Amino acid sequence: MSLWAEYVSTQDGDIFIEKDYGFISYEELPEGLYVKNIYVTPSEQGKGYGRKLMEEVVKLGIDMGKDYLLGSIQMTSPTKTDSLKAHLVGGFEPYTAETGILYLKKELKHG
């Protein structure tokens, strides 16, 4: 685990999956997993690695008996449009919104 991931996990309780090409972090909720960050290095973007990272979290959620994944988009982010597209392609649907944040949810299919 990188020093950054170790630091964040001790501060916020986030769990990280790190690869050479990027990482994904999530938090365990009572009935789901909240995907907090996903990053793929610029040289590896567009090769399906973000999808692979998300698939790992989907599998973990199913194995843990979770019902859904939750994601969020900061509406002030310069990458909000790309993030929304990625969520929608990944099977997430708009769930709710708070001031400046759009939450999306993906139901997990068991069995």
The pLDDT value given to residue 63: 96
Residue 30 has pLDDT above 80, yes or no: yes
Give me the number of domains the chain comprises.
1
Residue pair 3/40 in contact (Cβ under 8 Å)? The answer is no
DSSP 50-111: HHHHHHHHHHHHHHTT--EEEEEEETT-TTHHHHHHHHHHTT-EEEEEETTEEEEEEEPPP-
The CATH number of whichever domain residue 102 belongs to comes to 3.40.630.30
pLDDT in tens, 49-92: 999 999 999 999 999 999 999 999 999 999 899 889 889 988 99
Q: How confident is the model at residue 5 (pLDDT cuts 50, 70, 90)?
A: confident
Element (H, E) at 9: helix 3-12
Range of the domain at 28: 3-107
